[in-house]
Structure 1
Amino acid sequence: MKKIFYILSVFLVMSSCNDALDIVQDGEINDPQTAFQTVEDMQKFLNGSVYPSVDPLNEINFTSLFTDEIGFGPAGVSTTDILTHRWVLNSTSGDAAAIWVSNYNIINKANILLNGSKLIDFNTLSPANQALYTSILVHTRALRAYAYINLESYFSPNMKDANALGVMLATEPADLFETKLPRVKNSEIFALIESDLQYALTNFNSTSVASTTITATGQFRDFHYLLKPAIHAMAARYYNYKGDDANAKVNATTAITSSTINLALPNTTAVATSYQRMWEDAAGSRGEILWSLYRPNSSTGSWSNIANLWTTNSTDINGSVNFDMSRKLYTLLNQLPGTDVRGQVFVDASSQFDAFYPNGANPREADVIVINKYPGKPAPLASATMQLRNDIKIFRLSEMYLILAEVAVHEGNLTTAATRVRTIRGTRSVGGLAATITYTSAQQAYADILLERRRELSFEGHRYVDLKRMGVAAGVGIDRDVYDDDNSTMPLTLPASDYRFTLPIPLSEMNANSNVQQNPGYN
């Protein structure tokens, strides 16, 4: 009997970025017995369905709106975005629904592939196909783990409590009419994540799963797929979120030492050039990237232009800017000795600054700091369709150093924590050395690590989860400038202890599935 597989919660709001969710369509995987007959079939599904479903733009968009990364720009802002920016968050919020659906989409497609792989007799395969088969499972299980880590970080009230409520555990392809899963304890989700990560790390081999040729200097490169150091980075992030210091430390260290890449060299003008070329996706400029999602021309992919989250036409002052950089974030990017390369790269040169800010005649309109972290792809790929499109950097070396700093604080080693943070500041300072850092308390160290993560990982989707994880211990919450909103009477701070630092389970999921329990604060 034929069985059609669908994603969980298909009737949910699909995306806060106006993208249609790429669900498994009727006929795409209609009969697994037919669809998965060879290893090549598995490879096609991995490259054509599983990998393309990985798209963290919903997380990046929500985080920038909800926290203190952006302010209203001169162009129009939608009512939905205004509400998110003003911390109106409930079970009908499209942002929560989009994050929930997009990650379960990854999980469901991974489960379809893992289920289909059982139809192929591994023992009858050639050695080359056995290696490819195993490699496909490695990538599939790692991607499933990635999606579950995302869901846990946003929807579990406390990832450091194994008995706290987690999300729904799905290990089989979902059926729209039959799958009504409850939320389970974190411990059950953790068991699957750790099983998937352990399988991926133990069985990783050098066989490429790519369907097209990867070249060293071309636009499609090996780190657009998960390499083993990137899986270690994924494990480091997971264990850090979970509060498992030993495993976070081991995996972050291994990600750094086994990656064969380095942080940018400090105190040279070349830093600015190499760092900028990394964000542009210039040929041969991998920089500090451990894993980056390839985002080609729209003719070969349905992904959004990432810069469209904040601007309309281009990343300059004339591009119809919807949101600009928060003034406080801009100030933080210009506090280091010498020149902070991040201030140069993340802010477009055409930005206009109010010389008397915040006391000018019209500071909100006169001060427009244009976000240029995703400047579009360079020549020869630069075109109207590529002007706002960049690869999405998922794991970078700098995050691993900051994880090690956080672990050092947990271990009571404030000197090591300070050294790790100074490593990042030193590599970002052109023409000046980062000042010596001394921490006298864990709270001070947490606050400084959060500050550096705010600088380094801005517009990459980290700030919301970072405040949720460390904000209370650091005594830090959302910290806005008075002109980040067009209403200067809006509150500027939100403590990290607020219930809205856990997302609500979407109402559509609640209505369709009576087994799902809502998070505290949203009832």
Structure 2
Amino acid sequence: MKKIFYILSVFLVMSSCNDALDIVQDSEINDATVVFKTVDDMKLFLNGSVYPAVDPLNEIFFTSLFTDEVGYGLAGVSTSDILTHRWVLNSTSGDASGLWVSNYNIINKVNILLDRSKLINYNTLSTTDKATYTNIIVHARALRAYAYVTLESYFSTNMKDPNALGVMLSTEPANILETKLPRVKNSEVFALIESDLQYALTNFNTSSVTTGGASVQHYLQKPAINAIAARYYNYKGDDVNAKLNATAAVTTSGLSLSNPTAYPTIWNDTARGEILWSLYRPNSAVGSWSNIASLWTTNSTDIDGSVTFDMSRKLYDLIDDQIPGGDIRKDVFVDGSSQFDQLYPTGPNPREDDVIVINKYPGKSGSLASATMRLRNDIKMFRLSEMYLILAEVAVHEGDLTTAATRVRTIRGTRSKGSLAATITYTSAQQAYADILLERRRELCFEGHRYLDLKRMGVAAGVGIDRDKYDDDNQNLPLTLPASDYRFTLPIPLDEINANPNVQQNPGYN
């Protein structure tokens, strides 16, 4: 009997507002057994089904809400979002289900592509088609690796322990009538991730897998695959390979960190800048509709846009002119219409009178600018700045605090609108980890990193969730949550456990 697992994500449409996986995308092929007769069929499936399945909005929104990136805005907030913001996590939480759903959906679609590609006789293909066939497999396997890395990072209690419990593993298309698989050790999932990444890095070629005129950053290029590998090995605690791949991503991409003049253009999608890989939005053969700014606002990214969540005052204060000469990130991430209580936090209505509007995703510009595009931007999956910060983290692991400080200072210097005269000196690993977390908090806010950053480094840095008093309308709630808390691993969704008795729940959620 084939080892096929039951995965809720493949068969049920979740109610999460961030999940649009039930929508049939342009060029999607639903009957793979019939249509996989040519390389063009594989290309259509990659573009119409696999790439559109990649959607990290669940991770981005959950991270911003659960950690210390946002506070309540002026508009109404749903009960489920209030519970997440107040650190209520259990097996029925939609946040965990949405994340589980979207990533297993990627995996299953990749498994379909890989399985049905066997229907094509590779040996009879032309030289050109052979190269395209191979490159399609490269993209598919790299995307599967990305999905498994994401699942492991959220649902494994400790990615640095190969014997810790990981997630369910399959390389075949899902079938609900067959074997229900248990979760396996991290080492088994790691073996597949590393096999996929090695295949992708070894076999990547320049054959086009696109069906249209998409920009190069909207598809995985080899430096972007290096970036996936760098993030994976960093999460896993493999410093040698994390450093190797982060360095390769930086040095082979031909890109450089965006200076203050160029930095705004990468967020309004008018220039690539330092982006290694982004998901093209709006809709096309390589993407789906995705109003990313609607995670925090309703109509537009200004004070009149019916703001549901605004930037935490504490996060704003960490960005606001902390760099000599000014920080370009303040200008880019915060809309100019934001409302500031000049007496904050001693004014009469500090939460209502202080509305810091998130504008990191300001809507499309240029030829795509329109009223319908005010909440829609490409999703930035990997940027050079993350690679520099991974290299800083690895340097601390290696005991090289000078290099770690240099890497962090490079980011700060590039984001400074003036000169960055002061050098950075670390005298302990704990201080270095805390400063790296601080820079990641600034640079990568609203990109889905903070939760995993705290899970990975928070204990060593002595840092946990650190909120402002007025991020919530209940002033009696705790403002901190230590990174050692069990909720820094997500629960396996209850529907998955009910359908598959072989699946073991994570500690703290029984």
Distance in 1 (CA, whole Å) between partners of 2:6 and 2:157 is 28
Aligned residue in 1 for 2:71: 71
Q: How many residues align?
A: 504
Q: Secondary structure at the match of 2:456?
A: helix
**What do the CA deviations read for 1:357-396 (whole angstroms, capped 9, x no partner)?**
0111111000000000000001321112211000000000
Aligned residue in 1 for 2:231: 237
Residue 263 of structure 2, aligned match among 250, 275, 282: 275
Aligned residue in 2 for 1:418: 405
Distance in 2 (CA, whole Å) between partners of 1:450 and 1:66 is 16
Aligned residue in 2 for 1:471: 458
Task: Establish whether residue 259 from structure 1 lines up as the match of residue 245 from structure 2.
Answer: no
**What do the CA deviations read for 1:229-274 (whole angstroms, capped 9, x no partner)?**
0000000000000000000000000000000010124xxxxx2x31
Q: Structure 1 residues 6 and 387, CA, compared in 2 at 3 Å: closer, same or farther? A: farther
Q: Structure 1 residues 149 and 319, CA, compared in 2 at 3 Å: closer, same or farther? A: same
What displacement does 1:30 show? 6.4
CA contact (8 A) 2:6 2:499 kept: no
CA contact (8 A) 1:281 1:378 kept: yes
Task: Establish whether residue 311 from structure 1 lines up as the match of residue 311 from structure 2.
Answer: no
Task: Establish whether residue 290 from structure 1 lines up as the match of residue 270 from structure 2.
Answer: no
Distance in 1 (CA, whole Å) between partners of 2:311 and 2:502 is 41
Equivalent positions of 1:96-107 (< 5 A) are 96-107=96-107
Q: Secondary structure at the match of 2:255?
A: coil
Partner amino acid, structure 2, of 1:100? W
Residue 324 of structure 1, aligned match among 295, 303, 310: 310
**What do the CA deviations read for 1:440-489 (whole angstroms, capped 9, x no partner)?**
11000000000000000000000000000000000000000000001111
| Stretches of structure 2 lacking an aligned partner (at least 5 in a row) | none
| Stretches of structure 1 lacking an aligned partner (at least 5 in a row) | 214-219, 266-270
**What do the CA deviations read for 1:197-227 (whole angstroms, capped 9, x no partner)?**
00000000001100113xxxxxx30110000
**What do the CA deviations read for 1:338-360 (whole angstroms, capped 9, x no partner)?**
11000110000000101110111
CA contact (8 A) 1:15 1:95 kept: no
Partner amino acid, structure 2, of 1:69? E
Partner amino acid, structure 1, of 2:237? G
Distance in 2 (CA, whole Å) between partners of 1:320 and 1:30 is 39
Distance in 1 (CA, whole Å) between partners of 2:286 and 2:384 is 29
Distance in 1 (CA, whole Å) between partners of 2:449 and 2:350 is 28
Q: Secondary structure at the match of 1:115?
A: helix
Distance in 2 (CA, whole Å) between partners of 1:5 and 1:92 is 21
CA contact (8 A) 1:426 1:433 kept: yes
Q: Structure 1 residues 300 and 421, CA, compared in 2 at 3 Å: closer, same or farther? A: closer
Q: Structure 1 residues 50 and 7, CA, compared in 2 at 3 Å: closer, same or farther? A: farther
Aligned residue in 2 for 1:217: none
Partner amino acid, structure 1, of 2:360? K
Equivalent positions of 1:427-466 (< 5 A) are 427-433=414-420, 435-466=422-453
CA contact (8 A) 1:298 1:385 kept: no
Q: Secondary structure at the match of 1:240?
A: helix
CA contact (8 A) 1:115 1:173 kept: yes
| TM value normalised by structure 2 | 0.96
CA contact (8 A) 1:13 1:94 kept: no
Q: Structure 1 residues 298 and 68, CA, compared in 2 at 3 Å: closer, same or farther? A: farther
Distance in 1 (CA, whole Å) between partners of 2:24 and 2:188 is 26
**What do the CA deviations read for 1:375-422 (whole angstroms, capped 9, x no partner)?**
000132111221100000000000000000000000000011000000
**What do the CA deviations read for 1:121-148 (whole angstroms, capped 9, x no partner)?**
1110000000000000000000000000
Aligned residue in 1 for 2:93: 93
Task: Establish whether residue 60 from structure 1 lines up as the match of residue 60 from structure 2.
Answer: yes
Q: Secondary structure at the match of 1:401?
A: helix
Task: Establish whether residue 146 from structure 1 lines up as the match of residue 133 from structure 2.
Answer: no
Task: Establish whether residue 484 from structure 1 lines up as the match of residue 471 from structure 2.
Answer: yes
Equivalent positions of 1:174-253 (< 5 A) are 174-213=174-213, 220-253=214-247
CA contact (8 A) 1:15 1:21 kept: no
Q: Structure 1 residues 193 and 14, CA, compared in 2 at 3 Å: closer, same or farther? A: same
Distance in 2 (CA, whole Å) between partners of 1:222 and 1:5 is 35
Partner amino acid, structure 2, of 1:248? A
CA contact (8 A) 2:6 2:180 kept: no
**What do the CA deviations read for 1:52-107 (whole angstroms, capped 9, x no partner)?**
00000000010000000000000100001000000000000000000001000000
CA contact (8 A) 1:6 1:24 kept: no
Q: Structure 1 residues 15 and 159, CA, compared in 2 at 3 Å: closer, same or farther? A: farther
Distance in 2 (CA, whole Å) between partners of 1:417 and 1:344 is 27
What displacement does 1:177 show? 2.2
Task: Establish whether residue 39 from structure 1 lines up as the match of residue 32 from structure 2.
Answer: no
Distance in 2 (CA, whole Å) between partners of 1:187 and 1:146 is 16
Distance in 2 (CA, whole Å) between partners of 1:93 and 1:14 is 11
Identity of aligned residues (%): 79
Partner amino acid, structure 2, of 1:253? T
What displacement does 1:8 show? 4.2
Task: Establish whether residue 166 from structure 1 lines up as the match of residue 166 from structure 2.
Answer: yes
CA contact (8 A) 1:281 1:390 kept: yes
Partner amino acid, structure 2, of 1:331? D
Superposition CA RMSD, Å: 1.8
Aligned residue in 1 for 2:496: 509
Q: Secondary structure at the match of 1:277?
A: helix
Q: Which moved more, 1:16-25 or 1:108-117?
A: 16-25
Q: Secondary structure at the match of 2:242?
A: helix
Q: Structure 1 residues 24 and 177, CA, compared in 2 at 3 Å: closer, same or farther? A: farther
Q: Structure 1 residues 296 and 13, CA, compared in 2 at 3 Å: closer, same or farther? A: closer
Distance in 1 (CA, whole Å) between partners of 2:435 and 2:244 is 23
Q: Secondary structure at the match of 1:432?
A: coil
What displacement does 1:5 show? 12
CA contact (8 A) 1:7 1:108 kept: no
Q: Structure 1 residues 509 and 502, CA, compared in 2 at 3 Å: closer, same or farther? A: same
Aligned residue in 1 for 2:394: 407
Q: Which moved more, 1:502-511 or 1:301-310?
A: 301-310
Distance in 1 (CA, whole Å) between partners of 2:404 and 2:165 is 31
| TM value normalised by structure 1 | 0.94
Distance in 2 (CA, whole Å) between partners of 1:264 and 1:49 is 32
